[in-house]
Structure 1
């Protein structure tokens, strides 16, 4: 099994979910996070005070998939999150060992 983690723009979540659900990938977790990457933030002025904002709002999406579904998951996230501008996000995945269902204790 593989754990897929993606950091995306918050406004792209509906499109990412739609792409995942269309590929029958339903089990996901979404977390609000702050972070910086290639976008490097921006400067804004509020009531005469200039402030540099370098931690931007992002979403962290996690899902665990079987090895044969990994390319489906990555493709769905890429398609849903892509805006063709800098700061679309990243995807990474890692091997998962010894997964157990809590209710029954059975290994998956």
Structure 2
């Protein structure tokens, strides 16, 4: 099993949710609002004529716990929806998951994510 975590622009969340629902392979995801900066180094806005540089920009973290065979499909889906040539588009992180336990039924492993 793997954890796929994507830090993306907030306007892409609905498209990701819709596409994930269409696949049928993914049974759940976690979405969190986060703040961050990378190469983009913030954004200049004007408040009452004064330039203000916001260094932490709003992003969304979308996480999935997946069977190994579903990881590449989800990564491709995220890339197809979110990829652009602009700075601040986001990142995808993939981590191994040692164990998953469904609290309600005490199921372990693959059964706990289906």
TM-score (norm 2): 0.87
Q: Distance in 2 between matches of 1:104 and 1:33?
A: 31
After superposition, what is the alpha-carbon deviation per residue over 1:61-95, rounded to whole angstroms, capped at 9, x for unaligned? 00100001010111111112123322210001101
For structure 2, list consecutive stretches of 5 or more residues without a partner in the other structure: 110-114
Number of residue pairs the alignment of both structures matches:
108
Q: Which runs of 5+ in 1 are unaligned?
A: none
Are 1:43 and 2:44 counterparts? yes
| Map of 2:87 onto structure 1 | 86
Q: RMSD of the TM alignment (CA)?
A: 1.3
* More moved, 21-30 vs 63-72: 21-30
Query: Displacement of 1:45 after TM fit?
Result: 2.0
TM-score by length of 1: 0.91
Aligned-partner Cα distance in 1 for 2:90–2:27: 21
1:15 aligns with 2:15: yes
